[in-house]
Amino acid sequence: MDDAGVDRALIHPVLWDPDSNELAAHSGAELPDRFAIMGWFYLDDPNGPDLVARWKERPGHARPALLLQRACISGSG
């Protein structure tokens, strides 16, 4: 990163890997001055409100990412 002139980076864990938040959190904890994490959580998670309330207490977490997706129904025209 130094050689490329990059001071900080934002890590956005992939949605298709349920372990990606933990991998990103590990990287963010290792170098909190260099990495910020824009993690995610399932909206139907019963712990969701607590996760949001305490999000920034997690090392390196900048803010949660929200993915709102409209359901696609085949043949609906």
DSSP 47-70: THHHHHHTGGGSTTB---------
Q: Which residue, chain included where needed, has tokens 């993690």?
A: 39
Q: How far, in Å, CA of 25 to CA of 31, rounded?
A: 10
Q: How far, in Å, CA of 41 to CA of 59, rounded?
A: 16
Q: How far, in Å, CA of 46 to CA of 59, rounded?
A: 22
| Predicted local confidence at residue 69, as pLDDT | 59
- The pTM of the full predicted model, rounded to 2 decimals, is 0.62
| Predicted local confidence at residue 3, as pLDDT | 93
pLDDT tens-place string over residues 15-44: 888 888 888 888 878 888 888 888 788 778
| Predicted local confidence at residue 71, as pLDDT | 55
pLDDT exceeds 60 at position 77: no
Q: What share of the chain is helix, strand, coil (3-state, %, to 5)?
A: 25, 10, 65
pLDDT exceeds 80 at position 13: yes
**Proportion of the chain above pLDDT 90, given as a percent:** 5
